[in-house]
Amino acid sequence: MSKEKYFDVIRQPVITEKATLASESNQVVFKVAMDASKPLIKEAVEALFDVKVKAVNTLVRKGKVKRFRGIRGKQNDVKQAIVTLEDGHAIDVSTGL
């Protein structure tokens, strides 16, 4: 697969307090495409960041209904992947590729 296809799978890193705590146990959190499977996510992370992946866990956060100035709107669903890396490997998400 080409690098462009991998960038379609891995959308962006998630930088939150919870994701930062997960990085202490050698895990990285990414927003991924809704149709991405675990083997495809593993392949993309290994190819883009040159690391060895131990496991991939995924979750889908359902979109919330929010109101802004009385107008009702709905946020989109978001799929996240929690990628556990092998010992000795690391990804610095604060810098670009």
State the CATH number of the domain containing residue 64: 3.30.70.330
Structural domain range at position 69: 3-85
Please report the pLDDT score of residue 4 as a whole number.
Answer: 84
User: What is the sign of the dihedral through the CA atoms of 7, 11, 15 and 19?
Assistant: negative
Task: For residues 75 and 54, give the distance between their C-alpha atoms in angstroms, rounded to a whole number.
Answer: 32
> Mean pLDDT, to the nearest integer, of 40-46?
94
Model-level pTM?
0.86
Q: Report the number of distinct structural domains present in the chain.
A: 1
Q: Residue 60 pLDDT more than 70?
A: yes
Of 33-37, 49-53, 88-92, minimum mean pLDDT range: 88-92
Q: How far apart are CA 38 and CA 80, in angstroms?
A: 11
Residue 32 lies in a domain: yes
